[in-house]
Amino acid sequence: VEQKAELLCQLYGYKRIDTPLFEEAELFARSVGEETEVVQKQMYTFEDRGGAQMTLRPEGTAPVCRAYVEHGMHTLPQPVKLYYIAPIFRYERPQAGRYREHRQFGFEAIGESDPLLDVEVITMAWQFCEMLGIQGLSLKLNSIGCRRCRPAYVEALKGYYSRYTDAICPNCKTRLVRNPLRLLDCKEPPCRNIAESAPKSVDYLCEECRAHFGHLKSYLDLMELSFELDYHLVRGLDYYTRTVFEIQTREEGAQNALGGGGRYDYLVEELGGNPTPAVGFAAGLERIISCVRRQDIPVPPPSEPKVYIAYLGERAKREATELVTSLRKAGIPTIQAVGDRSLKAQMRQANSLGTTYGVIIGEKEVEGGTVMLRDMSRGEQREIALAELVSLLRKKEENCGKEGGIVI
Ligand SMILES: [Zn+2]
Ligand SMILES: [Zn+2]
């Protein structure tokens, strides 16, 4: 999955960034939002020896924006396109594909407000799921407005929900006061029913936000990427503005979110930078992997070592040691036997490691300047000159993947 992620980022021109595992707690309170569940309930925060409050990274976007500001990335050509594959820590109830320490793949495009960039990020997220062979994908889309138009929407939402204070769940009673947007994605059945008729953010968008959303949808049409408007999609973090989206997969009647993202046009500014619009996406790798497993998607086997070097006797051992160095320098994955075991035991190990070739060196071979080269799957072997071995194996390494050609 990580290899596909890296390939994807190469295709789209995103460069890797590795931010520290922990940051000042303040960074997440300011960006993710004091009233969010992440900050209220899910962060691993501790005091370091200097008395500073530090937090294990609970999400990837705020640290990337912190780095953008701190390292003056506004002087680079915009948008700056970055990706990360990093551990994330959240104190949540562990469940299938969801761990308190998990890994996220995310990418961010910082420094441009063009809705075409939203489309690039959405397309990229979609292509990532497609590259992995995941079936039943759907794209959910919403716009939650900007700081100009959102307050009126939040007021309308509060007004609507204040009529149902007796019917909503206890968590939603708190949300109504502290984080009203999250009322919309509560999973409790009574709250879901109430959310059905709640005011929609798209009906409250200012002219700029409406135009942005309109262009976004028309570019998606142009790309023939079909989407469903989901008026309850708000995402859990406060920094989102305008576009929010999620990629889901439908399996056995249930929708599973694979990842999501959106625009966060004020985040860089809130962290001390210039006003800098931006958009990004993130997905939990364990969730993706459990989806790949549920859908029985064939995964290529991890690459096996190609060559196993066996030896008999001290002189042969010394020669084997030199040989293994030359093979590895030539880029041929090689394992060397250690521990002076019998030849039979060494060959057994070569087999169980799945190596393609065995190279056997004994007293006779040392004397003659040769080695025995063994095709492990066929069990055939022949003597070849030691001096030829590296170039011969390199040729076979280059031909591997092509059918045939490997005859001993
Ligand atoms: Zn707006
Ligand atoms: Zn609720």
Q: Which ligand lies nearest the alpha carbon of 204? A: 1
Supply 18's token pair.
């590795």
Distance 41 CA to ligand 2 centre (A): 17
Cβ 260 vs Cβ 230: under 8 Å:
no
- CA-atom Rg of the chain in angstroms: 28
**327 vs 329: CA distance, rounded Å:** 5
DSSP string over 129-190: HHHTT--SEEEEEEE---TTTHHHHHHHHHHHHGGGTTTS-HHHHHHHHH-GGGGGG--SHH
pLDDT (tens place) for every residue of the chain, 408 residues total: 999 999 999 999 999 999 999 999 999 999 888 888 888 889 999 999 999 999 999 999 999 999 999 999 999 999 999 999 999 999 988 877 678 999 999 999 999 999 999 999 999 999 999 999 999 999 999 999 999 999 999 999 999 999 999 999 999 999 999 889 999 989 899 999 999 999 999 999 999 999 999 999 999 999 999 999 999 998 878 899 999 999 999 887 677 899 999 999 999 999 999 999 999 999 999 999 999 999 999 988 777 778 999 999 999 999 999 999 999 999 999 999 999 899 999 999 999 998 999 999 999 999 999 999 999 989 899 999 999 999 998 887 676 544 444 444
Taking a 5 Å cut-off on Cβ, the residues next to ion ligand 2 are: 169, 172, 186, 188, 191
Distance 209 CA to ligand 1 centre (A): 4
Instruction: Quote the ligand 2 centre to 365 CA distance (angstroms).
Output: 77
How far, in Å, from the CA of 176 to the mean position of ligand 2? 10
The pTM (predicted TM-score) of the whole model is 0.87
Q: Angle at CA 91, nearest 5°, toward 85 and 93?
A: 105
Distance 58 CA to ligand 2 centre (A): 23
Q: Is 193 helix (H, G, I), strand (E, B) or coil?
A: helix
Which residues pair with residue 29 across a beta bridge? none
CA distance 312 to 324: 15
- DSSP symbol at 339: S
Cα(329) to centroid of ligand 1, in Å? 59
Cα 151 to averaged position of ligand 1 atoms, centre (Å): 10
